[in-house]
Amino acid sequence: MNTEIYDLTDDKIYETAINNAADAIKNGGIVVFPTETVYGLGADATNTEAVKKIFTAKGRPQDNPLIVHFARFEDCYEYVGEVSEWAKVIARKFMPGPITVIVKRSDRLSDSVTAGLDSVGVRVPSDRFARDFLAKASVPVAAPSANISGRPSPTKAEYAIEDMNGKCDVILAGNMCEVGLESTVVDCTGDKVRILRPGAVTAEELSEIVPLDEASLSEDQKIRPKSPGMKYRHYKPSSYVIALDGTDEDTADYLNSVSHDEDTAVIAFDGVLSLAECPVKLSLGSREDLATAAHELFAHFRYCDKIGIKKIYVCCTDLRGVGDAYMNRLTKAMDEYIRL
């Protein structure tokens, strides 16, 4: 398939790019577009044939439902079933932004979007490019992350192009995604709100405005499993990933005590990198600033794949704020966990 790639940072072609991407969606095609979380691969959520193309392009299991994107939250009412009070409260406070609310579905959306569930995820991205594209498309856009299933989600245009060039109709290449991890997914169909996937909107922030289900609150045990063998892998670079959980000094001491091959990389806080000797060093910024760690993690994973790294050491973070989401993704990507 011939894929049209547009550079959205070029003002001269911006309007053409958005119009052509919107037309592709209306004609049953699939389009890669940037959001503030990660790049998405979108299709008209009312068109079953179009939605199926997403699953094929990604190699995604059919039983994994897609979330649906709108330019404004109000636009979802026409396409979903009952929207609970909690969903509205969350939407008022955090949308547009990096959160997805699960509400009741209706039959206006294709069954392949919801994968047989009676609910559907609604998301309103804050990224300007995403909003312009969604407004122009004027249909609900079902979109998972624009990676081949199992790989880390693309947070830069080049990685979305790497996975999807030749498999979709249009790629809108924008800036690096501001957040860098996928949206917080919250189930709003029950009496209490339950976090299904942590993201940049945190449990602490949500608990200030809605009642949270106990199961939402992350426990150390859940995040840092005792057994190193992980049965559920995801967001995975092709290398062997070792998570290191300790202070800057302990992490640097550990790294200096093992030998490093040329194809080993370290993804760590600046405090570690300044003390550790290793061939490829990739920064997560300061340990005090977890937003930077979240922003960088997937981009570093993808870069490691690109340059042929075989083993990656990665720092763990604490669980405050977006650290919860960071550790959730790292836990799914790692092969081994070492508590220092």
Q: Which residues bind ligand TXA (CB under 6 A)?
A: 35, 37-38, 40, 64-67, 100, 102, 114, 117, 119-121, 123, 143-145, 182-183, 185, 196-197
Q: Per DSSP, what are the bridge partners of residue 40?
A: 33, 145
DSSP letter at 200?
S
- If the CB atoms of residues 202 and 251 are measured against ligand TXA, the closer one turns out to be 202
- If the CB atoms of residues 42 and 323 are measured against ligand TXA, the closer one turns out to be 42
Q: How far apart are CA 138 and CA 158, in angstroms?
A: 27
The 3-state DSSP class for residue 201 equals coil
Beta strands in 77-183 (DSSP E): 99-104, 119-123, 141-142, 170-173
- Answer positive or negative: Cα dihedral of 222, 113, 55, 175: negative
Nearest distance, CB of residue 204 and ligand TXA, angstroms: 19
- If the CB atoms of residues 42 and 271 are measured against Mg ion, the closer one turns out to be 42
Nearest distance, CB of residue 288 and Mg ion, angstroms: 29
Between residue 138 and residue 157, which ones bind Mg ion under the rule CB under 5 A? 144-145
- If the CB atoms of residues 8 and 273 are measured against ligand TXA, the closer one turns out to be 8
Distances (CA, A) of 198 to 62, 89, 100, 178: 23, 18, 10, 16
Stretch that binds Mg ion, among 137-145, 240-248, 267-275, 293-301 (CB under 5 A): 137-145
- Taking alpha carbons only, the member of 317, 300, 302 closest to residue 266 is 300
Nearest distance, CB of residue 145 and Mg ion, angstroms: 3
H runs (alpha helix) in 274-336: 290-306, 323-333
Nearest distance, CB of residue 40 and ligand TXA, angstroms: 3
Site for Mg ion contains 114 (CB under 5 A)? no
- If the CB atoms of residues 186 and 319 are measured against ligand TXA, the closer one turns out to be 186
Angle of CA points 319, 199, 193, to nearest 5°: 95
Which partner in Mg ion, ligand TXA, none is near 123 (CB below 5 to 8 A by kind)? Answer: ligand TXA
What tokens does 152 get?
Answer: 């880390």
What tokens does 157 get?
Answer: 């245009």
Neighbours of 114 (CB within 10 A): 21
Stretch that binds Mg ion, among 82-90, 136-144, 203-211, 258-266 (CB under 5 A): 136-144
- If the CB atoms of residues 99 and 316 are measured against ligand TXA, the closer one turns out to be 99
Angle of CA points 86, 84, 73, to nearest 5°: 85
Number of residues in contact with Mg ion, rule: CB under 5 A?
2
DSSP 129-159: HHHHHHHHH-S-EE--BSSPTTSPPP-SHHH
Which partner in Mg ion, ligand TXA, none is near 100 (CB below 5 to 8 A by kind)? Answer: ligand TXA
- Taking alpha carbons only, the member of 161, 145, 114, 134 closest to residue 26 is 134
Which partner in Mg ion, ligand TXA, none is near 140 (CB below 5 to 8 A by kind)? Answer: none
Nearest distance, CB of residue 177 and ligand TXA, angstroms: 9
What tokens does 304 get?
Answer: 């490691």
Which partner in Mg ion, ligand TXA, none is near 305 (CB below 5 to 8 A by kind)? Answer: none
Nearest distance, CB of residue 34 and ligand TXA, angstroms: 9
- If the CB atoms of residues 234 and 281 are measured against Mg ion, the closer one turns out to be 234
- If the CB atoms of residues 114 and 145 are measured against Mg ion, the closer one turns out to be 145
Binding site for Mg ion (CB under 5 A): 144-145
